Structure 1
Amino acid sequence: MTQTTGRIFDDFARLMNDAAGVATGVRREAENVMRTQAERILRELDVVTREEFDTVRDLAAAAREESERLAARVAELEARLAKIEAASPATSA
């Protein structure tokens, strides 16, 4: 009787081991299908990649800095022009 019980447990253990292997395979297959679907959806939505986003963000930051630098330069030149225009009527009078 002990040999029969041991054999039943061995068969049950083998069955559970096989079931675990099948479950792992099903999980991998489900992950692959979901990943493929997600990639397809993102391609159809025309979503930008992280690299493209980072590149555009860096370009925008550089453009903002250049714009601020140019705005400061224009303000400085306008101040100089205002001084010149203020001094011109005084010298011509």
Structure 2
Amino acid sequence: MNQNNKIFDGLGRVMNEAAGVADGVRREVETVVKSQATRIVNDMDLVKREDFDALRELVQVQGEEIEALRKELAALRGDKPAS
């Protein structure tokens, strides 16, 4: 009976060590994948979200200004306002 306990204890230690090694491998793979993904994204020269939002707001404001100028120009010309 004592021999069986030693076998199971040894097997339990081996399983715990294997789980630790597997966790280490998982973390290493995650690190490599994240590094590669970051490198790929940086190589693509993507626009940052903050820059995109700022530019979108600027374009919207300019569009409103253009529309106001068109109406003013139409009024000066005596044109009928467009629908």
TM-score higher than 0.5 here?
A: yes
The equivalent of 1:39 in structure 2 is 38
User: Structure 1 vs Structure 2: percent identity of aligned residues?
Assistant: 46
Output the CA distance in 1 between the equivalents of 2:51 and 2:6.
61
**1:62 to 2:64 alignment:** no
Residues 70 and 4 (structure 1), Cα distance of their counterparts in 2 relative to 1, 3 Å cut: farther
Shift of 1:33: 0.9
Let me know the Cα RMSD of the aligned residues. Answer: 1.8
Residues 47 and 8 (structure 1), Cα distance of their counterparts in 2 relative to 1, 3 Å cut: same
The equivalent of 1:20 in structure 2 is 19
Shift of 1:77: 2.8
The equivalent of 1:76 in structure 2 is 75
Higher helix share: 1
Output the CA distance in 2 between the equivalents of 1:27 and 1:68.
57
Alignment size in residue pairs: 79
**1:10 to 2:24 alignment:** no
Letter paired with 1:57? R
SS of residue paired to 1:29: helix
In structure 2, the gaps of 5 or more residues are none
Output the CA distance in 2 between the equivalents of 1:68 and 1:8.
84
Larger radius of gyration: 1
Output the CA distance in 2 between the equivalents of 1:23 and 1:72.
69
TM (normalized to structure 1)?
0.69
